[in-house]
């Protein structure tokens, strides 16, 4: 698979599915799936790995900020526009709200502009950063973390260690104060600080994984089983302490480290991984707005069938549109950043 790591694609796809299950666990009768939000932190670790594999050497060789910024925006922004247009269509059609998605076209501008509204500003709720599509809070954090990551890398790689330590200390302080890491999406200045620290802390872990010279602590199979065991234990509804949440993400990071050294899988797994990798970002951004269409079915159809019937066609179309848009932008602007690693891939 050219310029793609199949195992990382698979990890990305599974993480996106975990976010869907997290947001719809009550709808599906999965009462103990509250730990699913940790997949967002896994995404941040993965982003740190991808950025480091792709851009570390390129930045050292003088990659301009404008080229780096254009490449990241071309990868991330088209799907943001698609998600925003989807929300507009839902509002025009007067689709009902769901617990994770409120109507209100005025708030759509926060999607298109990736603009975190101030309390009492252009928003229909003061609780969430992006009321029309809540998952965008993490995309906002990722883009800002991209900029900070580039600046620190340009100053010198040795500073990445200190950035990571500082960000992790802030993350731990907030998590200890709140008793959970499941914060950062709310609309306040302190939450914006927590959001950025959360992204940068795991970005830094991803950087260390990508540059690590040590062998993984265990095989991917052992680490995957350990991670699954943690989720099984807490799927009964047992509350995860913030320290266990932190340790769980660290375990996921260890799994990613092991996957980097894992042999390439067979053709069937590579094909499935590629499909999941391509669909993961569209799935992440459209699954909460798409939930507004589930009310059409009511309770006449099993909820799992409704979820699949609504999400699958929407994600397929969104993925196709996203890939076409990205391809058109790259052809138009002919931006092909340096690749410092033959194993790099776009996030």
Average pLDDT of the residues in 65-80: 92
Contact of 83 with 114, CB cutoff 8 Å = no
- Report if residue 120 sits inside a domain: yes
pLDDT in tens, 172-227: 999 999 999 998 888 788 888 999 999 999 999 999 999 988 899 999 999 999 99
- Report if residue 61 sits inside a domain: yes
Neighbours of 324 (CB within 10 A): 11
Percent of the chain surpassing pLDDT 90: 63
Global confidence as pTM: 0.91
Give me the DSSP letters along 293-337. Answer: GGGGTTTSS-HHHHHHHHHHHHHHHHHHHHHHHHHHHHHHH----
**Nearby residues of 111 by Cβ (< 8 Å), 6 or more positions away:** 80, 83, 84, 87, 130, 132, 133, 136
pLDDT in tens, 107-160: 777 788 787 765 444 444 456 778 788 899 999 999 999 999 999 999 988 899
- Report if residue 287 sits inside a domain: yes
- Report if residue 285 sits inside a domain: yes
Distance CA 145, CA 129 (A): 17
- Report if residue 1 sits inside a domain: no
> Residue 2's pLDDT is what?
42
Residue 186 DSSP class: S
pLDDT in tens, 304-324: 999 999 999 999 999 999 999
pLDDT in tens, 183-197: 888 878 888 899 999
- Report if residue 272 sits inside a domain: yes
Cα 66 to Cα 58, 319, 325, distances in angstroms: 13, 26, 20
Q: Is the pLDDT of residue 347 over 60?
A: no
- Report if residue 175 sits inside a domain: yes
Distance CA 20, CA 35 (A): 12
SS3 5: coil
Contact of 80 with 114, CB cutoff 8 Å = yes
Number of folded domains that form the chain: 1
- Report if residue 338 sits inside a domain: no
Q: Is the pLDDT of residue 168 over 90?
A: yes
Domain assignment of residue 232, given as a range:
6-333
Distance CA 18, CA 14 (A): 6
> Residue 30's pLDDT is what?
84
Q: Is the pLDDT of residue 43 over 70?
A: yes
Chain centroid, CA 242 distance in Å: 20
């Amino acid at each position: 698979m050219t310029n793609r790591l199949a195992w990382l694609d698979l990890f990305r796809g599974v993480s996106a599915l975990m976010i869907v299950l997290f947001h719809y666990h009550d709808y599906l009768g999965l009462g103990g799936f509250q730990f699913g939000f940790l997949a967002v932190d896994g995404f941040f670790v993965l982003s740190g790995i991808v950025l480091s594999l792709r851009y570390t050497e390129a930045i050292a060789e003088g990659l301009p900020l404008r080229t780096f910024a254009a490449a990241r925006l071309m990868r991330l922004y088209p799907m943001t526009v698609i998600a925003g247009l989807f929300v507009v269509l839902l509002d025009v059609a007067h689709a009902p709200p769901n617990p994770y998605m409120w109507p209100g076209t005025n708030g759509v501008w926060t999607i298109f502009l990736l603009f975190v509204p101030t309390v009492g500003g252009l928003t229909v709720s003061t609780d969430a950063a992006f009321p029309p599509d809540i998952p965008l809070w993490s995309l906002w954090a990722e883009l800002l973390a991209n900029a900070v990551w580039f600046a620190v890398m340009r100053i010198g790689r040795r500073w990445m260690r200190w950035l990571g330590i500082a960000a992790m200390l802030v993350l731990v302080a907030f998590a200890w104060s709140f008793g959970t890491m499941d914060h950062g999406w709310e609309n306040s200045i302190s939450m914006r600080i927590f959001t950025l620290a959360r992204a940068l802390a795991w970005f830094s872990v991803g950087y260390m994984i990508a540059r690590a010279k040590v062998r993984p602590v265990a095989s991917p199979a052992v680490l995957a089983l350990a991670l699954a065991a943690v989720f099984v234990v807490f799927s009964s509804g047992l509350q995860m302490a913030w320290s266990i949440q932190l340790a769980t993400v660290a375990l996921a990071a260890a799994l990613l480290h092991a996957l980097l050294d894992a042999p390439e899988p067979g053709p069937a797994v590579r094909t499935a991984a590629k499909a999941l990798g391509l669909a993961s970002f569209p799935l992440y951004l459209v699954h909460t707005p798409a939930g507004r269409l589930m009310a059409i079915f009511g309770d006449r159809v099993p909820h799992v069938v409704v979820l699949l019937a609504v999400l699958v066609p929407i994600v397929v179309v969104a993925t196709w549109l996203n890939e076409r848009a990205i391809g058109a932008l790259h052809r138009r602007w002919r931006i092909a950043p340096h690749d410092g690693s033959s194993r790099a891939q776009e996030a």
